[in-house]
Structure 1
């Protein structure tokens, strides 16, 4: 949805957009790569390529966590390459998704992907490696992953919506928060992939349902904007966003109460201390013990609750005016 952001007012319009860097983007020309945003994307491309190449050259990854890090770097490299090709060839109008919304949405996801890889890879794999060539390559990969994360975050900061600027909804604060909400939900799903953590406890099953419902609703909002399909809803899109944020806040409040209560309170069958969990006494490279998963989900639930509260506040302040 093209929008003009003026303080707390968002006006839908059909005017063409700028790059968000104070000057129009040069489209369909190699000169696009000489602009600040083009150079930044080249840095993203190079850093992600070097990161996964260093790890792949020595086979320094194993298990789910290692596979995730490799996927994050390879995915970011591939999509960044596609974006560069599209801009060099001037194919924005033929791209199947809204070009107003896609680049910044992807940049936000990529920043989170690289951030997660930069944290997960050293903590779950590199610290267990013996000193040598493989470990040196892995450490270098972490450095380039951090560079990529900063580069993607910089793109988000450069291209996000500013007062008086014509842009897409995904460049606004609520739009970017939708990205954070869905990403955090995906991380939660990874930690609760073992049904042992919540099975046979209705309160915990409700928490899992909350994570799934809120994720689906936020993902629908993102997809509607990426596909320029916001007018397909039976209700006005602003009302949908406000209702989504309010419902998600209420749902996450319940999960924020129930998950820690049933996971860490002995009265409800919880395990308050990590050392009591027999599965956590031995550390493994490619696994996370159940108690750590429970704690991680509790922390991520709090993070997503804060994100939804901020989303609700910003959505309530926005006014959509179609022209």
Structure 2
């Protein structure tokens, strides 16, 4: 059964969302520009933050053009599913970027124009996250989202969004290739993150597509198998990452002070040991999310089987 919604006129809807998209575009663009203007002072974390703000700006711009030109009817996927899911991602991205950028970089920058720009960029990133949250709320009010995938199965969608989002943050830290290159066990960890991200993204897209001809029970079992596979892969990644990064017998550094980059007072970037620890924590978090996903899907399959 296709999803239906009730809404005001199309023109009024476009007007409402443009009132949100314009400040979203402005906030992400200003945050990106302020950090870009810092030159070599922006550091690796600044480049990482810029990439996320740039992605949010580009996606918001594309969505705005599609809505302005009324092109959404040409998409096979349910357009409002895509919009609300993206808005949730964008809110998480801007919020996490604000937190990580301020904790790992801004507080270490000396007082002056560069610190002021970094603080201003963080503020605009926070504003953008609030605007994206408002967009989700507005969509809830304008449409009957109780029948839409993201809201009909809130827990299922939230778990998939978290799985892909946490993997995306892990990839940001792995942009420092020195963390894993030339070490097969650590390269395996990167492969695990990539494989699980792709699997979760495919499942999320299939749900967003609202392909009603897919039988629920076989599709649920299929997702349950994929989630179990992801758990096994993440367990291996967590074990290898901890052993090869923090165990001296495998060439790791168990203590932070043993990393030269962490005791260099002239460095304003997140040191290598901290990045390794961040990846380990995020890996453990995503493993817990996948475990919760497995429990949820096991219950769903069990209920459908008894029915």
Flag whether TM exceeds 0.5 (same fold): yes
2:155 is the counterpart of 1:173:
yes
In 2, distance between residues paired with 1:254 and 1:159? Answer: 40
In 2, distance between residues paired with 1:96 and 1:178? Answer: 21
Unaligned runs of 5+ in 2: none
**Do the aligned residues in 2 keep the contact of 1:181 with 1:218 (CA within 8 Å)?**
yes
Displacement of 1:268 in angstroms is 4.0
Displacement of 1:114 in angstroms is 0.9
**Do the aligned residues in 2 keep the contact of 1:33 with 1:42 (CA within 8 Å)?**
no
Question: CA, structure 1 residues 238+283, in 2 after alignment: closer, same or farther (shift >3 Å)?
Answer: farther
Which of 71, 88, 98 matches 1:118? 98
Q: Which one scores higher on RCO, CA 8 angstroms, separation ≥ 6?
A: 1
What is the aligned partner in structure 1 of residue 223 from structure 2?
A: 241
Higher strand share: 1
In 2, distance between residues paired with 1:78 and 1:54? Answer: 17
Range moving further from structure 2, 186-195 or 271-280: 186-195
2:4 is the counterpart of 1:16:
yes
What is the aligned partner in structure 2 of residue 142 from structure 1?
A: 122
2:294 is the counterpart of 1:312:
yes
**Counterparts in 2 of 1:171-210, with a 5 A limit?**
172-194=154-176, 196-198=178-180, 203-210=185-192
**Do the aligned residues in 2 keep the contact of 1:207 with 1:255 (CA within 8 Å)?**
yes
SS of match in other structure, 2:148: strand
2:51 is the counterpart of 1:65:
no
Displacement of 1:267 in angstroms is 4.1
TM-score w.r.t. the length of structure 2 is 0.78
**Do the aligned residues in 1 keep the contact of 2:262 with 2:273 (CA within 8 Å)?**
yes
Unaligned runs of 5+ in 1: 1-12, 19-23
2:258 is the counterpart of 1:270:
no
In 1, distance between residues paired with 2:299 and 2:138? Answer: 23
**Do the aligned residues in 1 keep the contact of 2:108 with 2:268 (CA within 8 Å)?**
no
2:283 is the counterpart of 1:298:
no
**Counterparts in 2 of 1:148-167, with a 5 A limit?**
148-156=128-136, 165-167=146-148
Which of 13, 34, 38 matches 1:32? 13
- The superposition leaves residues 1-51 of structure 1 with CA deviations (integer Å, 9 ceiling, x where unpaired) of xxxxxxxxxxxx213235xxxxx2542x0x22565x665445433432443
Residue-pair matches, total: 299
User: Over the residues paired in the alignment, what is the CA RMSD in angstroms?
Assistant: 3.7
In 1, distance between residues paired with 2:290 and 2:76? Answer: 29
**Do the aligned residues in 2 keep the contact of 1:60 with 1:138 (CA within 8 Å)?**
no
Displacement of 1:91 in angstroms is 3.0
TM-score w.r.t. the length of structure 1 is 0.75
